[in-house]
């Protein structure tokens, strides 16, 4: 097959797959495939929520689909799906294996499967190709072939789009390597580099971010040393940078989809091969520990300057009652309600969620038409009324005469849905309330954390929230404990709920209940203890901050 004969399917339309599909769609018949029908609908409407592509209309030969039948006629399948890590920092190939099964269902003799996802050396041929063989019944390098061309997208970087970054390519045979290289060269003006094998190309990609992680870790560790020596790290870097071969990096936090993830893939494969890569491992530990290091320095600097340390924003006491001493200690450290970005939740031992008892939709929070976007609840109620659905429970701390509640009631009456709400004004029997909730609705536009979400999780209640509300989105997405919607209008919410089966509800409930344990008082106290010990070490016995009594309190609380 020649590149000019390619009919391309790009599987996965995230920040990697979409720009690639757009470029191929300028020159080849291309189908952008994604399992999310909502994502496909958005792209067909000309909207890219990732912001990577400004104009989706520049590719006349590109179409979008979530239907497998629409990619059966393709002969080149490019997989561009995420490769995350699990809670134990081990590679999670679930999206990649799932995409490989998809390819196996549609691939034909003579076709080529190309992978772009970042993996450890050997993953394409050892983990992905066997899945395609098993599903399709075809034989690798006899009936079908493979290539690997690692993504090099720099998300959000408009100065260096995909067309301006040299593309590494590879193939499972010399002929396929030439084909893959020619295919990419036709859309990448910056050029291509043909690696000697798929494994070489995989290794080249994974060390790009590993090298950066190691270099940043060195600077971060040096900054820890200089901090304790009373030396300004920025001044040191400025002076050292006067030599031409000094690599100018600055200390800081390391996150994102790549640098904080990819080294774990190489660690995993290296350990499996019998070698423990100490530098890579320690670099990850250093960079993962930087949030606490930054917190320690901030606390120390504020105390040194006798600055008042104010209480943070999250209302931790809404979830669990702290002793006055514990709250005082958090306030002194300036981390009250901000520890690890979460407020601790009282861990419950049993998940009592049951579809025979949990029947209501519910909202928990104050009635607000701006940040909380409570007007959406009235829209949703209108859709529920058409289905003769039980009323929405409104569990609010607002008084019955509050302005927000008054406006909410007036609008509900004018829309004819006031009978679709049951209001609860106190929380004396939370067990009874949550035993009636089937799913919690959080329409908030702005929610910095989402204590109500965690509280629902502790009862096994899944949550439906807006994908653009950072706090709930992070909690729900990290544990797959509910639904995240880009559109919180009544029809959109009802459509999402109608797609859920009883099994879906039960699975989300189980995941939500398990996830709430990650935000326990024990986790909270572990972090507090660590920060306390850091501050004690910093002050070398100076009694300017009453930390020691509070550390003993923490230790006692952990034992109780």
Ramachandran angles phi, psi of 355, nearest 5°: -70, -15
Ramachandran angles phi, psi of 88, nearest 5°: -100, 15
pLDDT tens digits for range 332-354: 444 444 433 344 566 778 888 98
Domain 3-205 in CATH 3.30.565.10: no
Name the segment(s) of the chain with CATH classification 3.40.50.720. Answer: 3-205
CATH fold, domain 206-290, is: 1.10.1040
Question: What share of the chain in percent tops pLDDT 70?
Answer: 81
Residue 57's CB is within 10 A of a number of other CB atoms, namely 9
Write down the pLDDT at residue 303. Answer: 56
Among 267-281, 310-324, 382-396, 452-466, which stretch is predicted with the lowest mean pLDDT?
A: 310-324
Is residue 301 predicted with pLDDT exceeding 80? no
Distance separating alpha carbons of residues 549 and 560, to the nearest angstrom = 17
Distance separating alpha carbons of residues 216 and 254, to the nearest angstrom = 8
Q: What is the band of 541 on the pLDDT scale with cuts at 50, 70, 90?
A: very low
Name the segment(s) of the chain with CATH classification 3.40.50.2000. Answer: 360-519
Q: What is the band of 288 on the pLDDT scale with cuts at 50, 70, 90?
A: confident
Domain 360-519 in CATH 3.40.630.30: no
Distance separating alpha carbons of residues 344 and 339, to the nearest angstrom = 9
What average pLDDT does range 505-533 have in this prediction? 74
Give the catalytic positions in this structure. Answer: 258
Mean pLDDT for the chain overall: 83
* Ordered alpha helix ranges (H), 254-306: 262-272, 278-288, 290-304
521: its two tokens = 């008082």
Name the segment(s) of the chain with CATH classification 1.10.1040.10. Answer: 206-290
pLDDT tens digits for range 232-281: 999 999 999 999 999 999 888 786 678 888 999 999 999 889 998 899 99
Is residue 394 predicted with pLDDT exceeding 80? yes
Contact of 53 with 22, CB cutoff 8 Å: yes
Distance separating alpha carbons of residues 119 and 550, to the nearest angstrom = 45
Write down the pLDDT at residue 19. Answer: 95
Of the candidates 516, 538, 553, 558, the one whose C-alpha atom is nearest the C-alpha of residue 292 is 538
Write down the pLDDT at residue 307. Answer: 56
Contact of 177 with 194, CB cutoff 8 Å: yes
Distance separating alpha carbons of residues 407 and 368, to the nearest angstrom = 9
Distance separating alpha carbons of residues 314 and 93, to the nearest angstrom = 35
**Residues 400-404: contacts with CB within 8 Å, 24+ apart?**
400/425, 402/367, 404/366, 404/367, 404/368, 404/369, 404/374
Write down the pLDDT at residue 366. Answer: 81
CB-count exposure of residue 226 (10 Å: 0-12, 13-18, 19+): middle
pLDDT tens digits for range 410-468: 899 999 988 888 888 766 677 888 888 999 998 888 776 667 888 889 899 999 998 88
DSSP state for residue 162 in the 8-state scheme: G
Ramachandran angles phi, psi of 144, nearest 5°: -140, 170
Of the candidates 510, 480, 498, 505, the one whose C-alpha atom is nearest the C-alpha of residue 358 is 505
């Amino acid at each position: 097959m020649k590149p000019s004969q390619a009919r391309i399917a790009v599987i996965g339309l995230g920040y990697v797959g979409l720009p690639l599909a757009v470029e191929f769609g300028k020159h080849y018949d291309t189908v952008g495939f994604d399992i999310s029908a909502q994502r496909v609908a958005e792209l067909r409407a000309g909207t890219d929520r990732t912001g990577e592509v400004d104009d989706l209309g520049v590719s006349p030969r590109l179409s979008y689909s979530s239907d497998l039948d629409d990619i059966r006629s393709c002969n080149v399948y490019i997989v561009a799906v995420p490769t995350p890590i699990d809670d134990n920092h081990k590679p999670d190939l679930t999206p990649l294996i799932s995409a490989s099964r998809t390819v196996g269902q549609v691939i034909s003799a003579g076709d080529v499967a190309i992978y772009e996802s970042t993996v450890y050396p050997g993953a394409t041929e050892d983990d992905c190709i066997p899945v395609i063989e098993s599903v399709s019944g075809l034989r690798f390098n006899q009936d079908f072939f493979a290539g690997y061309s690692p993504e090099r997208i720099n998300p959000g970087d408009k100065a260096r789009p995909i067309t301006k970054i040299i593309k590494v390519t590879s193939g499972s045979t010399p002929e396929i390597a030439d084909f893959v290289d020619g295919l990419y060269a036709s859309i990448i003006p910056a050029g291509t580099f043909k690696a000697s094998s798929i494994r070489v190309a995989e290794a080249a990609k994974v060390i790009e971010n590993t090298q950066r992680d190691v270099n940043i870790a060195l600077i971060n560790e040096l900054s820890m040393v200089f901090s304790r020596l009373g030396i300004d790290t920025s001044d040191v870097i400025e002076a050292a940078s006067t030599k031409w071969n000094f690599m100018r990096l600055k200390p800081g936090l390391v996150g994102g989809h790549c640098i904080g993830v990819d080294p774990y893939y190489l660690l995993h494969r290296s350990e499996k091969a019998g070698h423990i890569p100490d530098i890579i491992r320690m670099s990850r530990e250093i960079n993962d520990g930087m949030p606490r290091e930054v917190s320690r320095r901030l606390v120390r600097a504020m105390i040194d300057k006798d600055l008042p340390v104010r209480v943070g924003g999250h209302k931790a006491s809404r979830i669990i009652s702290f002793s006055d001493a514990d709250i005082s200690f958090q306030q002194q450290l300036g981390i009250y309600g901000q520890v690890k970005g979460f407020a601790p939740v009282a861990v419950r031992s049993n998940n009592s969620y049951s579809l025979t008892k949990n029947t209501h939709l519910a909202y928990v929070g104050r009635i607000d038409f701006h940040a909380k976007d409570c007007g959406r609840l009235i829209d949703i109620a209108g859709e529920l009324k058409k289905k003769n659905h039980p009323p929405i429970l409104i569990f609010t701390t607002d008084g019955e005469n509050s302005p927000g509640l008054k406006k909410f009631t007036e609008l509900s009456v004018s829309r004819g849905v006031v009978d679709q709400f049951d209001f609860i004004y106190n929380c004396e029997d939370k067990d009874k309330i949550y035993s009636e909730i089937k799913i919690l609705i959080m329409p908030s536009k702005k929610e910095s954390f989402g204590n109500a979400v965690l509280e629902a999780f502790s009862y096994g209640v899944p949550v439906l929230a807006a994908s653009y509300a950072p706090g709930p989105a992070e909690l729900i997405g990290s544990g797959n404990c509910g639904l995240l919607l880009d559109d919180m209008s009544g029809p959109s919410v009802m459509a999402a709920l109608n797609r859920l089966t009883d099994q879906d509800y039960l699975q989300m409930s189980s995941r939500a209940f398990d996830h709430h344990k990650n935000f326990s008082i024990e986790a909270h106290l572990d972090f507090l203890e660590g920060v306390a010990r850091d501050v004690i070490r910093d002050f070398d016995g100076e009694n300017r901050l009453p930390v020691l009594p509070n550390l003993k309190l923490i230790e006692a609380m952990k034992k109780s």
